[in-house]
Amino acid sequence: MHAEIYHNEGNRPMSIYASNIFEPHPAADEKYIVRGEKYRITVLTDCLLRLEYSEDGAFEDRATRLAFNRAFDTPEFECYHEADRLHIVTKHLHLRYDEKAFSAIGLEVVVNGTLDWQYGVRVDNLGGTVRTLDRVNGATDLNPGLLSRTFGISVVDDSDTIVIGEDGWPLPLCGTGRKDLYFFGYGREFERCIRDFYKLSAPVPLLPRYALGNWWSRYHKYTDVEYLALMDKFKAKRVPLSVGVVDMDWHITETPDREKYGSGWTGYTWNKTYFPDYKQFLREMQQRGLKVTLNLHPRDGIRAYEEIYPTLAKRLGRDPETGRKIEFDVADRRFMEEYFNTVLHPYEEAGVDFWWIDWQQRSGSSVAGYDTLWMLNHCHFVDNARDGHRPLTLSRYAGIGSHRYPLGFSGDTYVTWESLNFQPYFTATAANLGYAWWSHDIGGHMGGYHDSELHTRWVQFGVFSPISRLHSSPNPFNSKEPWNYGDEAEGIMEDYLRLRGRLVPYMYSMVYRNFEDGIPMVRPIYHAYPTTPGAFDCKNEYLFGTLIAAPVTTKRDPQTLLAKTTVWLPAGNYVDYFTGRIYTGGRLIDTYRPLSEMPLFAKAGTILPLTADVMADADTNPTALELYVAGGADGAFTLVEDNGKSGGSRITTRTAYSFTWGEDSTLAFTAAGGAGIPDARDYALRMAAVERPTRIYAEVGGEVRELTFDYDEVKHEATAVIGTVKAGDKVAVHVLSSGKLPENELKQTAFKLLADAQYDHGAKETLYGIFTSNRTLVNCILALQRRDEKLAAPLIELLTAKQ
């Protein structure tokens, strides 16, 4: 695509065709193509084939909504004819084809010598995602993804598609009768399948750093004063926000003549009753370190009462005196050019950072074959990338390839436990299509009921989601401010939202891992453990980068005040981030958590870089870091930071942290500099799963520092301030201890669990006596179960966590 295109009237810059983020290489090398008169087969990898059939012998070499790159480094393959069949053989695939129109008897592929696929036959699938969760209460069926547990096969049909023209303008390609299929035969190589899909379809672009913070959103008629006061209240409570969303009431929603103009759902003129000086409002948001996005429902076009109407009409060569509506038509190139340049860009220049495209219809084009939602996502995203800007948009999923246009808005869901219970599975499973950045209405949008426990659990999930965006309907009883849910829930939610702010350096490194290595931050655990049956057992458990998260999505027991969540942990030792408890993996575990906790596991050796200041600006590299380390094994982590730019202006810096476990456990790194990183940083260490150290000291730039430290006897965590480290300094922090994993603290934890339970005092005393007795483990478990099965279960979790 061209770097920049210009309209010939006024030489005004156009950016909706161009992109500095996608660089298509759509044509495959001829030496990897096998062709006949009416067919063409391209060997993309030893597991990925492109299969085309065309009666007119014409084939498509332009980029499509699925495929931006077909220039792969292709492995060797063998091609020959035998028994009236064309045979193409790679390391993993064996294709047999009769060289006729595709049919079940004429086209088959064998994967890894055992799994046989015939054209048109459906095979099992682990699921992908859907366009929207609008008005879904609970679960819904998912469209297929790229992964299959049994057959390891998937086929994507790219026949009726959208192609990217030579000048960058998308064009529909439908009704040709041609077949264009992509055969994925990766077996259980799930990670490689997604990685190669990204290579075919373009990687997930780098998100701007601010997107990883907490967002505030509500469908409500805010005034500028009210909105800014709310932002200030969050700040006063030390709850960090990075994005302020203004829903549709930023613009006029009551048209001057409903019979003439229709509803005000679509609008482009600021409502001066609520925002008398919108430019000042946007400046005030910027001064508070907040990015701004506005809601758009573009379906009804630009009508005569809009302030921009006369200017836009003239630019389009129309007479504004007619008052005729300017239809919204994504197929009209000139309209789309002026829509961005004349209508939207002035607001961006005033301080709007990106747009929330709330398109729910499928129409909106004068030409058949366009998916208006896809066109809006594509055009908005590449337009937002102009001038080296790091692009972002918020919109619904528009089919395979939509990962190129983050973020995804999942739609208007109900405020129910059923909706929450579906979202972790739904979010992680989208990674089976490479769709990595869903943004949900955290807390649910509409309907439902007020439930402080439900909202708290939803916020916990939101913090460990791709995007943490609180949102609700205009119902006055459905707002999502934490202080509306009682003291206990407020304190917990605010702590989690603070944790989200602290996680930004870690999550931003995961953004880079997605971009460079093709690994989504949130994905099913079976991506990493595809041959282990247990990895498929817990639908709401997922990988959050290197962590294992299992949000609580069911109500707690009214007597124990604990909620049960079953998790599967791979082999190895793990530390529960919130409790410090050590777990032995390789098994399914029933966990029980109070409202303040959720299962979150760090494997031994895990390193997490966290912002030390909870109110630090999410869009800048922090001046102080806390390094969390889970003891028990060696580990490593690379912190990735940059200057926030795109393309050739982007400067990236990496800090490699390494950890060696033993009697002298050592965390080592060389402090990075440049790329917007402070010349000096303050560092602190938090080491979990360690017996009480005898000494902690640091070598910093050749200087030895003796560090005082605190130690938590229950969580087995040591914390120490390392101090200021200058860029370029070599650092080694030494923690001297036994070099053995500590035993979990049991008595205090069990006592608190029983004390909090809404239970008979005598039963509690009896259970505690059994728990603290000298019985063997088996006898203790049996005695607890005989006495009270409900309270026994969380006590047994404590006894059996570390084996």
Q: Can you list the positions of beta strands (E) in 503-606?
A: 522-524, 542-544, 547-549, 563-569, 573-576, 582-584, 587-593, 600-603
- pLDDT score recorded for residue 5: 26
d(CA 502, CA 408): 23
d(CA 366, CA 162): 15
| Domain 214-483 class in CATH | alpha beta
Is domain 607-736 in CATH 2.60.40.1180, yes or no?
A: yes
- pLDDT score recorded for residue 115: 81
Q: What are the residues facing 566 on neighbouring strands?
A: 590
Residue 109 in contact with residue 185, Cβ under 8 Å? yes
d(CA 186, CA 78): 18
- pLDDT score recorded for residue 166: 81
Dihedral over alpha carbons 307, 313, 315, 318 (to 10 degrees): -160
Residue 614 in contact with residue 555, Cβ under 8 Å? no
d(CA 191, CA 401): 17
Count the Cβ atoms, other than its own, within 10 Å of residue 323.
Answer: 13
| Residues 6+ positions from 462 with CB-CB distance below 8 Å | 440, 442, 443, 468, 469, 470, 500
Q: Which residues of the chain have pLDDT under 70?
A: 1-21, 361-364
- pLDDT score recorded for residue 312: 98
- pLDDT score recorded for residue 361: 65
Q: How far is CA 328 from CA 9, 13, 376, 428, 485, in A?
A: 21, 21, 11, 34, 42
Task: Tell me the pLDDT tens digit for each residue of 99-150.
Answer: 999 999 999 999 998 888 999 998 999 999 999 999 999 999 999 999 999 9
**CA 358 distance to own-chain centroid:** 19
- pLDDT score recorded for residue 585: 98
d(CA 153, CA 193): 10
Angle subtended by helix axes 452-463 and 417-429, to nearest 10: 10
Rounded to 5 degrees, φ, ψ at 683 are -125, 150
Collect contacts of 251-256 with beta carbons under 8 A, ≥24 apart. Answer: 251/294, 252/305, 255/303, 255/305, 256/305
d(CA 579, CA 593): 10
| Residues 6+ positions from 370 with CB-CB distance below 8 Å | 162, 170, 172, 330, 331, 364
The domain spans of the chain are: 30-201, 214-483, 607-736, 746-803
d(CA 406, CA 397): 9
Cis preceding linkage at 173, omega within 30: no
Angle subtended by helix axes 504-517 and 487-502, to nearest 10: 50
379: part of which helix (H) or strand (E)?
A: helix 372-384
**CATH number given to 30-201:** 2.60.40.1760
Q: Do domains 214-483 and 607-736 have the same CATH topology?
A: no
